[in-house]
Amino acid sequence: MNEHKSQFKQSLPDKPGLLFVVQKHQGRNLHYDFRLEVNGVLKSWALPKGPSLDPAVKRLAVPVEDHPVEYADFEGVISAGQYGAGPVMVWDHGTYTPEDSADVSASLENGELKFVLYGQKLRGSWVLVRTRNDNWLLIKHRDVYAAREDVTELEPRSVVSGRLLSEILADEGHDAKVKGSRQYT
Ligand code: MN
HEC string of 39-92? CCEEEEEEECCCCCCCCCCEEEEEEEEEEEHHHHHCCEEECCCCCCCEEEEEEE
Q: Residue 2 has what pLDDT? A: 44
CB burial of 81-92 (b: ≥16 within 10 Å; e: otherwise) equals eeeeebbbbbbb
40 alpha carbon – ligand 1 mean position (Å): 19
pLDDT for the residue 168: 96
More confident residue, 82 or 4: 82
What pLDDT, in 10s, does the model give residues 103-145? 999 999 999 999 999 999 999 999 999 999 989 999 999 999 9
Per residue in 41-73, pLDDT (tens digit) is 999 999 999 999 999 999 999 999 999 999 999
Q: What is the pLDDT of residues 7-27, one digit of tens each?
A: 444 444 444 679 999 999 999
Centre of ligand 1 to C-alpha 7, Å, is 26
CA of 89 to the centre of ligand 1 (A): 10
pLDDT of residue 101: 82
Report the 3 state secondary structure along the chain.
CCCCHHHCCCCCCCCCCEEEEEEEEECCCEEEEEEEEECCEEEEEEECCCCCCCCCCEEEEEEEEEEEHHHHHCCEEECCCCCCCEEEEEEEEEEEEECCCCCHHHHHHCCEEEEEEECCCCEEEEEEEECCCCCEEEEECCCCCCCCCCHHHHCCCCCCCCCCHHHHHHHCCCCCCCECCECCC
The pLDDT value recorded for residue 3 is 45
Indicate whether 148 pLDDT > 90: yes
What is the distance in A from the centroid of ligand 1 to the CA of 63?
A: 11
Q: What pLDDT is attached to residue 5? A: 42
Q: How close is the Cα of 166 to the center of ligand 1, in Å?
A: 16
| Residue 178, pLDDT score | 46
CA of 147 to the centre of ligand 1 (A): 26
Could you give the C-alpha distances from 16 to 12, 28, 84, 149, in angstroms and in order? 11, 35, 31, 28
Nearest to 117 by CA among 32, 17, 33: 17
CA of 60 to the centre of ligand 1 (A): 14
C-beta of residue 20 within 8 angstroms of C-beta of residue 35: yes
Q: 119-130, pLDDT tens digit by residue?
A: 999 999 999 999
Task: Give the count of beta carbons closer than 10 Å to the beta carbon of residue 24.
Answer: 25
